[in-house]
Amino acid sequence: MSSTPARTVSNPVIPGFHPDPSICRVGEDYYLACSSFEYFPGVPLFHSRDLVHWTLIGNALDRPEQLRLPPGAASSGGLYAPTLRHHDGRFWLIVTNVSADGNMLFTATDPAGPWSDPIRLPGVHGIDPDLAWDDDGICRCTVAGVSQYRIDPLTGETIGEPRRLWSGAPGAKAPEAPHLYRIGDYWYLLIAEGGTERCHGVSIARGRTPDGPFEPCPDNPVLTHRGTDHPVQNTGHGDLVQGPDGSWWMVFLGVRPQGGTPGWHVLGRETFLAPVTWVDDWPVVGEVALDMAAPPWPLHEPAVEPVRDDFDSGELAHGWISPRSRSTAHCTTGERPGWLTLRARGDSLDDPEVTFLGRRQQHLSCRARVLADPSDGRGGLAVRLDERHHYEIETEPGQVRVIARVGTLRTVVASHPTPAGPVVLRVDMTATRKVTDPRQGPDTVTLGVEDADGGYTELAALDGRYLSTEVAGGFTGRVIGTYATLGTVRFDWFDYEPVED
């Protein structure tokens, strides 16, 4: 007699800088939105049929009139913690722009877009806004704190005064990320607390009405890894969803620290999945495993975005992002067919207005390569966390150089002559798998050039801890991409691939 081995799937289900997941289901389709902070376009949107394989279908805020991120918008500012819901035949997305317009609400009939212009909510104060409708059609917006407003979602008008609700354990830090649900006989209020670092967690309370009063779960927090050596840390900011078969699941953020003490995470906060069961009308979150049992339904292979981009399309792929803004005057594939053309604004990656086009780093070990033509300018390939923390390999006619910016220090680490014409620039991230020193960093970032014969010249190997959240602070993860800091630089292709250890 033979048995079929149990299927497993890998966590995180959406790797890389994809924090604050919010999820909804329509029929057999799941849709998920994440925070995007200072990057444009904003709020990436994913689709799945199995909760495991996710396809990026667009960005909800992809027009300047939807998303204002002024030059002065700080890194880790911008868009915080969206909530995505489906109600009355329409998708609703509410999010906070902490750098400009406060809380805004958008609608769409298709989550792939287009999404509406913003409906502003000037009377709603607080980040992490949530939307829920009761049986009478009254819409409630609950925000970090935790306060609840009644609103007209079509106009953004608030109705009456806000109500204070349950705010988690007494004395717990930062009650935030509220989500309100009607499940069975109860209304449930799910929140995050403890801050988004190592003490992060998810707690829940329930009441008979959406206004409360709310009774806390006796087993709170229902999800946390605080005080453990689990490989996934900072777990929190959860959202619940029910499958078509009646099963329940939670998506939430977490990080994968690497290296020695205290551990450094470089990919940002990622989206994880865990099963949920119900005991005495309370949710019980199952094990958070890097390899977990597959859901009890067929797995669907996703439409994977190409690892290599030859810039043959007139439109950039959904995964490309830029700090604060992106105009065709400075970034286009339409000028020279088959090439990406970047025109410089800022004169270095230290400048908030620099012309930069990148994609999220999604693997602990990976390689990125680009063919750059600097004949009319200066630019290159960079690994960016923010304006004060980045490594890059930069080219101009006749030479390349490696530059490191860490806090207040900026230095040229190495330089190398190159022949005239296009040059292949390369960056490798190699994760630390065996810690031999408690001070050992999370990975090594190696920068170099390839020649016409495929040979490789390494120019620098830099400690990756300085491009981590634990060093730089903030809420984002690494983004790898192309940039221009003088004149015009063109790129024939960009290649990103995971590297097996």
The pLDDT tens digits of the residues spanning 80-112 come to 999 999 999 999 999 999 999 999 999 999 999
In the prediction, which pLDDT does 156 show? 97
In the prediction, which pLDDT does 9 show? 74
Q: What percentage of the chain carries pLDDT values higher than 70?
A: 96
In the prediction, which pLDDT does 471 show? 98
User: Would you say residue 38 lies in a domain?
Assistant: yes
Among 293, 317, 349, identify where a domain stops.
293
User: Would you say residue 300 lies in a domain?
Assistant: no
Q: What percentage of the chain carries pLDDT values higher than 90?
A: 90
Q: Is residue 323's pLDDT more than 80?
A: yes
**Statement to judge: residues 225 and 373 lie in one domain:** no
User: Would you say residue 298 lies in a domain?
Assistant: no
**Which residues sit opposite 416 in a β-bridge?**
400
Read off the pLDDT band of 301 (50, 70, 90).
Answer: low
- Give me the half-sphere count of Cα atoms (radius 13 Å) on the Cβ side of residue 467: 28
Question: 19 or 304: which carries more pLDDT confidence?
Answer: 19
CATH number of the domain residue 423 falls in: 2.60.120.200
In the prediction, which pLDDT does 25 show? 98
**Statement to judge: residues 355 and 265 lie in one domain:** no
Percent of residues in the chain assigned helix, strand, coil, to nearest 5 = 0, 50, 50
**Statement to judge: residues 258 and 371 lie in one domain:** no
* Contact assessment for residue 402 and residue 459, using Cβ atoms and an 8 Å cutoff: yes
Question: 302 or 257: which carries more pLDDT confidence?
Answer: 257
| Measured distance between the N- and C-terminal CA atoms of the chain, rounded to whole angstroms | 36
Q: Is residue 76's pLDDT more than 90?
A: yes
Spatial separation of the C-alpha atoms in residues 416 and 206, rounded to whole Å: 63
Q: Is residue 4's pLDDT more than 50?
A: no
**Statement to judge: residues 455 and 352 lie in one domain:** yes
Identify residue 5 by its one-letter amino acid code: P
Q: Is 263 helix (H, G, I), strand (E, B) or coil?
A: coil
User: Would you say residue 237 lies in a domain?
Assistant: yes
User: Would you say residue 313 lies in a domain?
Assistant: yes
Specify the residue for token string 């004169």.
347
Which residues are part of the catalytic machinery?
A: 20, 176
SS3 track for 51-66: CCCCEEEEEEECCCCC
**Statement to judge: residues 135 and 248 lie in one domain:** yes
In the prediction, which pLDDT does 309 show? 96
Report how many domains make up the chain.
2
Buried b (16+ CB within 10 A) or exposed e, 358-387: bbbbbbbbbbbbbbbbbeebbbbbbbbbbb
- Identify the H or E element spanning 308: strand 308-309
CA torsion angle for 382, 387, 389, 394 (degrees, to 10)? 30
What average pLDDT does range 126-138 have in this prediction? 97
Q: What residues have CB less than 8 Å from 311, skipping those under 6 apart? A: 333, 338, 339, 340, 491, 492, 493, 494
Rounded to 5 degrees, φ, ψ at 179 are -135, 130
User: Would you say residue 27 lies in a domain?
Assistant: yes
- Give me the half-sphere count of Cα atoms (radius 13 Å) on the Cβ side of residue 490: 15
Ordered DSSP codes for 203-226: EEEEESSTT---EEPTT--SEE-T
In the prediction, which pLDDT does 46 show? 98
Q: What confidence tens digit (pLDDT) does each residue in 158-175 have?
A: 999 999 999 998 888 999
Q: Is residue 264's pLDDT more than 70?
A: yes
Q: For residue 94, give the nearest of 38, 41, 156 by alpha carbon.
A: 156
Q: What is the DSSP letter of 114?
A: P
**Statement to judge: residues 324 and 260 lie in one domain:** no
Give the chain's largest Cα–Cα span: 73
**Statement to judge: residues 30 and 158 lie in one domain:** yes
Among 269, 293, 317, identify where a domain stops.
293
Q: For residue 211, give the nearest of 131, 138, 148, 146 by alpha carbon.
A: 148
What average pLDDT does range 196-207 have in this prediction? 97
422 C-beta neighbours (distance < 10 Å), count: 19
**Statement to judge: residues 278 and 312 lie in one domain:** no
Q: Is residue 131's pLDDT more than 50?
A: yes
In the prediction, which pLDDT does 227 show? 95
Q: What is the mean pLDDT of the chain?
A: 95
In the prediction, which pLDDT does 302 show? 59
What average pLDDT does range 25-39 have in this prediction? 98
Spatial separation of the C-alpha atoms in residues 31 and 48, rounded to whole Å: 7
What average pLDDT does range 346-362 have in this prediction? 96
User: Would you say residue 35 lies in a domain?
Assistant: yes
Among 293, 325, 348, identify where a domain stops.
293
Q: Is residue 2's pLDDT more than 50?
A: no
- Give me the half-sphere count of Cα atoms (radius 13 Å) on the Cβ side of residue 443: 26
What average pLDDT does range 312-325 have in this prediction? 95
**Statement to judge: residues 275 and 408 lie in one domain:** no
Task: Note down the domain range covering 386.
Answer: 308-498
**Statement to judge: residues 279 and 330 lie in one domain:** no
Q: Is residue 42's pLDDT more than 60?
A: yes
CATH number of the domain residue 288 falls in: 2.115.10.20
| CA-CA-CA-CA torsion sign (182, 185, 187, 188) | negative
439 C-beta neighbours (distance < 10 Å), count: 9
**Statement to judge: residues 23 and 144 lie in one domain:** yes
Q: For residue 326, give the nearest of 358, 369, 351 by alpha carbon.
A: 358
User: Would you say residue 70 lies in a domain?
Assistant: yes
Q: CA separation (Å) from 392 to 340, 444, 453?
A: 18, 14, 23
Q: What confidence tens digit (pLDDT) does each residue in 356-396 have?
A: 999 999 999 999 999 999 999 999 999 999 999 999 999 99
Spatial separation of the C-alpha atoms in residues 31 and 45, rounded to whole Å: 7
**Statement to judge: residues 362 and 400 lie in one domain:** yes
In the prediction, which pLDDT does 1 show? 31
Spatial separation of the C-alpha atoms in residues 345 and 356, rounded to whole Å: 10
